[in-house]
Structure 1
Amino acid sequence: MKKYFIIIPSLLLCIIFASCRDDFAFSNSTGDLGFSQDTVFLDTVFTNIGSSTRTFKVYNNSSDDIVIPRVALAQGESSKYRLAVDGIPGRIFENVELLAKDSLFVFVETTIDINDFSSGDEFLYTDTIEFDSGPNQQKVELVTLVQDAIFLFPERDAQGIEETLLLGTTDDGEDIRISGFFLDDTELTLTAAKPYVIYGYAGVPPNKTLTIDAGARLHFHNGSGIIVANEGSLQVNGLPSSTEELENEVIFEGDRLEPTYTDIAGQWGAIWLTAGSKNNIINNATIKNASVGIIMDSSNTTSTGATLKLNNTQIYNSSNSGLIGTTAHIEAENLVINNSGQSSLVLRLGGEYNFNNCTIANYWDNSFRQDPTLFISNIIPNTDLSEDLINASFTNCIIYGDRDIEYILADDGVSQFNFSFENSLLKFNDRFDDFVGFTNYDFTDVSVYNQCTFNVDPIFKDEDNNLLQIDNSGGANGIANPASATTNDILDNPRSAAPDAGAYESTDLSAG
């Protein structure tokens, strides 16, 4: 009988019996761990709102596989922080293995109730992540600023159904609703005492006025905003500020306070002034990171006074448009709009509009933008709707952006279409003569283009970061009409004898 022998290579034997080397022998850490950061700041959070998740890395820079006997929050299970070490959640971890020249991720987040403490409306919450103990112990500090806030949100009934607002009905008679609630009388004055965090749409009831005091801060959750009913009013009473903190300005923004969210568009819905709302006034406000900054629906343009007045107001980083007026009556002075996913300013289906010393710009770079900075029409595109454009006047304004054609006039030739630009800087570089022969683009017609400058860079300070101050060598310098220019600019600086177009009076930006 033949005998067969199996010959196994020595390397395979080592693998099978692990007899050549103990590949899985871990030695204890010796306090030589490396960290991508030694302090983790979770930025500012509102009470009872979860923070963003922060991440840092732990490095084993040695040539040995090690085990960290203990990784734990100093406050243990009572800590307000939560961890995940290499994907495992918890607050205390034992015998964490880390291969030679390798690293592991630690994730940190928190949710804090300010009522658990007695430190006023704002306090600093800290803890420490301890790696090992005794002489080998190393630490990473955790720091979070917690703010108290006033929360406004839809209630739920006994069945758990959330409160909604009725917007109208479909052609089939079905209700159109959004998550929201009407503010009661005790909530119709918002002050600067504490920030407000709003969930859903906060509705201003008919024949009521929402008053927002100087210095107030309004933070909106995703899909939230303000909606003003028919015969309702919004009064924003911001004042000029003397510091970069904008202490007297009213600010509308999202409810994520981390620096990474500072300029992220589309974090919340809109300020929606519905059809028939009246006497809306917004002074010294910043509206940023919305889907649409302000929507102004149809209003009675034959009434005395505009239904929306904007003064010294900024609208930035709108994923759709900064301001949309539909058959509306709007007056604006020292208004700045920039960085919108579509047009920064849309005036559609007619209406009546007057803009003076306004900077309407668009340098959106988050995606491709095909819409001009300014769009004016007496129609709704792709519909049969048409209304008279009683007037759309732009005096001492800047209409500019990073496209060749930065305003479009959509006139159906049926309804009235009255517009004018005076002492303004316009971006309209018709390189391919696409608009030659169109009456509304006859720049020699002084009845609608009076003392205008075309395609000369205004030289903004930093348009990508919404710093729309202009240099005194730019195209808007000294072109405004002294008789109609605003007395002060948006920063409350006096205009010169030869004032500039736009919301800002120019300076020498090269001087720093």
Structure 2
Amino acid sequence: MRRLLLLILIGFTVSLTSCRNDFEFESRTGGLEFSKDTVYLDTVFTNIGSSTYTLKVYNRSDKNISIPSLGLKKGTTSKYRLMVDGMAGQVFENVELLAKDSLFIFVSVTAEVANANPTDFLYTDQILFGEESNPNHQKVELVTLIQDAYFIYPGRVQNPDETYTYNELNLGVDGDGNPVSIRGRFLEDNNPNNGNELHWTNTKPYVIYGYAAVPPNRTLVVDAGARVHFHVESGLIVANNASIHVNGSPSTTAALENEVVFEGDRLEPDFSEVPGQWGTIWLTPGSANNQFSNLTIKNATVGILVSGNDGSSNPTLELENTQIYNCSNVGILARTGNIVGRNVVINNCGQVAFAGSYGGNYDFTHCTFANYWSRANQTCVTLSDDSINNVPTPLGSANFKNCIVYGSSNLGISLKKTGTIFNFLFENCLIKFADYSNQYANEILYKFSTNPNYVNCLIATNTTVNKPDFKNPTQNNFIIGQNSAAKGTANNTYSTFNDILNNQRSNPSDMGAYNWTTFD
């Protein structure tokens, strides 16, 4: 009986499978549909691989089909790479696609500018579905822009175990006396590949791997319109007695043709505003006469790190028309710094926009310190005289004139005084300080109406009082509107220079880096 049941079961199974056509495929060219008729791969640097892009292929018919040939028109010479059904390659045969099903094709490219069209620097190819000689064949265009660049990276030596030892910069010793170093190298006057690396021009972008360092007693000059891209865990170091001069100038078009831009090396739109893609611009102790004009710093961990000063009364860093956005930690982190800033705008920082720690001397005029980071507990400005070896560091001066200090969190400023010298002044500033729980009601540092450290300031004690009326803070647009509390409330004595857009300031002038304007 058991044998009879087994034979019946086997016969039933065979009869079912013999009636199915799931795995019968009809060879066909044509009739496919695609998620895109052209795949635009975003701009890449020469010989640097792109991100991977997705093309979806649909079989809308009721029949299983086999695509006789699928591949790049340029074949194995193409700089594009495909992955089809988990298989990497450039040419495929008999690619099967079930009825009413779809297929993913992943596309990437690594090419050099010499491979691109010399007139527009576009590198193109096609994915062909079927032989090109077949009148029913279909195609999807592939297009990407190849940019040439200067590449600055540390040298390396291959070890016997096939690992590499990279050049490193000596950063001194840690608290335990152990040497500290970081992957990188000093810039050179006459590099065999890049020429003069101490003069960055606007002829083509610069791409930095590791940390590029300005040697002692030298100055890095950055021309207007220069574009500098930092790889992950990369940045710029200015050594003892060294300087950097960023000589951007006002632009006349939306392309910001004269602005200098420091940002990451991921050029895809999805990465254009992503914080923390690279390290920092580090002005080490003893660096001097650093000047930034018409500069935008984006997507760093710390936009500018100022470690100490050169010991003179002159500013270690002068900032003019400088914007710093999307820093995962701090926009400007100054430790015993000496900074002068005019028309500085900072926003979207994981901890604080500007931190003046371990004392120092700071003077900011017509600046906008905002912070619309997506998580709570961030702030806009912090000042402290933290101790070094149990000795408080004096805050010699921290002057904020005609500034806006406002963000998405309740408290725009944070002050920490532990010593006796803690000199600060907010004059004609708009400050957000919504102390809903009255936590600071008895703290003299925040007595805005009676403390002489606040002169003619507007305090936003909630979200409806003394609003700055920013145009679009989530898009880093801090132009103020006609309903702004900052409109016409600045001290004209300090309004002796144009706003950050190079527009002449009105009289009475407006707080912050921008003149007010009408917008929807």
Specify the alignment match of 1:72 in structure 2: 71
Specify the alignment match of 1:424 in structure 2: 429
Task: Report the residue type matching 1:440 in the other structure.
Answer: L
Tell which deviates more after alignment, 279-288 or 469-478.
469-478
Select the residue among 340, 349, 359 that pairs with 1:350. Answer: 359
Specify the alignment match of 2:331 in structure 1: 322
What is the CA distance between 1:304 and its match in structure 2?
3.0
Q: Report the CA distance shift for 1:332/1:144 in structure 2 as closer, same or farther (over 3 A).
A: same
Spell out, residue by residue over 1:402-429, the C-alpha distance to the aligned partner (whole angstroms, 9 max, x if none).
Answer: 11112100111x2411111111110001
How many residues align structurally?
A: 503
1:168 aligned onto 2:172: yes
Is the CA contact 2:384–2:415 (under 8 Å) kept in the aligned structure 1?
yes
Spell out, residue by residue over 1:304-334, the C-alpha distance to the aligned partner (whole angstroms, 9 max, x if none).
Answer: 3211000001000001111001000001000
Q: Report the CA distance shift for 1:444/1:94 in structure 2 as closer, same or farther (over 3 A).
A: same
Structure 2 unaligned spans of 5+: 190-195, 461-465
What is the CA distance between 1:28 and its match in structure 2?
2.3
- Percent sequence identity over aligned pairs: 49
Specify the alignment match of 1:405 in structure 2: 411
- Tell me how far apart the structure 1 counterparts of residues 19 and 392 of structure 2 sit (CA, whole Å): 86
Tell which deviates more after alignment, 288-297 or 60-69.
60-69
1:279 aligned onto 2:285: no
Q: Report the CA distance shift for 1:12/1:254 in structure 2 as closer, same or farther (over 3 A).
A: farther
Specify the alignment match of 2:463 in structure 1: none
Tell which deviates more after alignment, 501-510 or 131-140.
131-140
Superposition CA RMSD, Å: 1.9
Q: Report the CA distance shift for 1:182/1:7 in structure 2 as closer, same or farther (over 3 A).
A: closer
Is the CA contact 2:444–2:451 (under 8 Å) kept in the aligned structure 1?
no
Tell which deviates more after alignment, 423-432 or 385-394.
385-394
- Tell me how far apart the structure 2 counterparts of residues 299 and 325 of structure 1 sit (CA, whole Å): 10
What is the CA distance between 1:444 and its match in structure 2?
1.5
Specify the alignment match of 1:144 in structure 2: 144
- Tell me how far apart the structure 2 counterparts of residues 12 and 504 of structure 1 sit (CA, whole Å): 83
Is the CA contact 1:477–1:499 (under 8 Å) kept in the aligned structure 2?
yes
Specify the alignment match of 2:211 in structure 1: 201
- Tell me how far apart the structure 1 counterparts of residues 487 and 236 of structure 2 sit (CA, whole Å): 37
Which aligned pairs between 1:107-122 and structure 2 lie closer than 5 A? 107-116=106-115, 119=118
- Tell me how far apart the structure 1 counterparts of residues 98 and 392 of structure 2 sit (CA, whole Å): 71
Helix, strand or coil at the partner of 1:24: coil
Spell out, residue by residue over 1:17-45, the C-alpha distance to the aligned partner (whole angstroms, 9 max, x if none).
Answer: 73223331111235111111111011111
What is the CA distance between 1:459 and its match in structure 2?
1.3
Specify the alignment match of 1:24 in structure 2: 23
- Tell me how far apart the structure 2 counterparts of residues 139 and 370 of structure 1 sit (CA, whole Å): 52
Q: Report the CA distance shift for 1:278/1:417 in structure 2 as closer, same or farther (over 3 A).
A: same
Specify the alignment match of 1:128 in structure 2: 126
Specify the alignment match of 2:192 in structure 1: none
Helix, strand or coil at the partner of 1:260: helix
Select the residue among 487, 507, 510 that pairs with 2:517. Answer: 507
Specify the alignment match of 1:466 in structure 2: 476
Task: Report the residue type matching 1:348 in the other structure.
Answer: S
What is the CA distance between 1:369 and its match in structure 2?
3.4
Is the CA contact 2:492–2:507 (under 8 Å) kept in the aligned structure 1?
yes
Is the CA contact 1:360–1:400 (under 8 Å) kept in the aligned structure 2?
yes
Which aligned pairs between 1:83-98 and structure 2 lie closer than 5 A? 83-98=82-97
Helix, strand or coil at the partner of 2:169: strand
Q: Report the CA distance shift for 1:268/1:385 in structure 2 as closer, same or farther (over 3 A).
A: farther
Q: Report the CA distance shift for 1:452/1:76 in structure 2 as closer, same or farther (over 3 A).
A: same
Which aligned pairs between 1:334-483 and structure 2 lie closer than 5 A? 334-365=343-374, 368-379=375-386, 384=390, 386-412=392-418, 414-445=419-450, 447-455=452-460, 456-483=466-493
- Tell me how far apart the structure 1 counterparts of residues 439 and 11 of structure 2 sit (CA, whole Å): 76
- Tell me how far apart the structure 2 counterparts of residues 406 and 311 of structure 1 sit (CA, whole Å): 22
Q: Report the CA distance shift for 1:450/1:8 in structure 2 as closer, same or farther (over 3 A).
A: farther
Helix, strand or coil at the partner of 1:50: coil
Is the CA contact 2:198–2:219 (under 8 Å) kept in the aligned structure 1?
yes
Specify the alignment match of 1:106 in structure 2: 105
Task: Report the residue type matching 2:49 in the other structure.
Answer: G
Q: Report the CA distance shift for 1:197/1:300 in structure 2 as closer, same or farther (over 3 A).
A: closer
What is the CA distance between 1:509 and its match in structure 2?
1.2
Specify the alignment match of 1:47 in structure 2: 46
Task: Report the residue type matching 1:49 in the other structure.
Answer: I
- TM-score normalised according to structure 2 size: 0.93
Structure 1 unaligned spans of 5+: none
What is the CA distance between 1:294 and its match in structure 2?
0.3
Tell which deviates more after alignment, 219-228 or 182-191.
182-191
Is the CA contact 1:356–1:486 (under 8 Å) kept in the aligned structure 2?
no
Which aligned pairs between 1:161-310 and structure 2 lie closer than 5 A? 161-185=165-189, 186-300=196-310, 303-310=312-319
Is the CA contact 2:371–2:378 (under 8 Å) kept in the aligned structure 1?
no
What is the CA distance between 1:11 and its match in structure 2?
9.3
Spell out, residue by residue over 1:257-302, the C-alpha distance to the aligned partner (whole angstroms, 9 max, x if none).
Answer: 111111011111100000111000000000001111000111146x
Q: Report the CA distance shift for 1:380/1:147 in structure 2 as closer, same or farther (over 3 A).
A: farther
- TM-score normalised according to structure 1 size: 0.95
Is the CA contact 1:349–1:380 (under 8 Å) kept in the aligned structure 2?
yes
Q: Report the CA distance shift for 1:8/1:460 in structure 2 as closer, same or farther (over 3 A).
A: farther
What is the CA distance between 1:445 and its match in structure 2?
2.6
What is the CA distance between 1:462 and its match in structure 2?
1.0
Specify the alignment match of 2:37 in structure 1: 38
- Tell me how far apart the structure 2 counterparts of residues 345 and 9 of structure 1 sit (CA, whole Å): 81
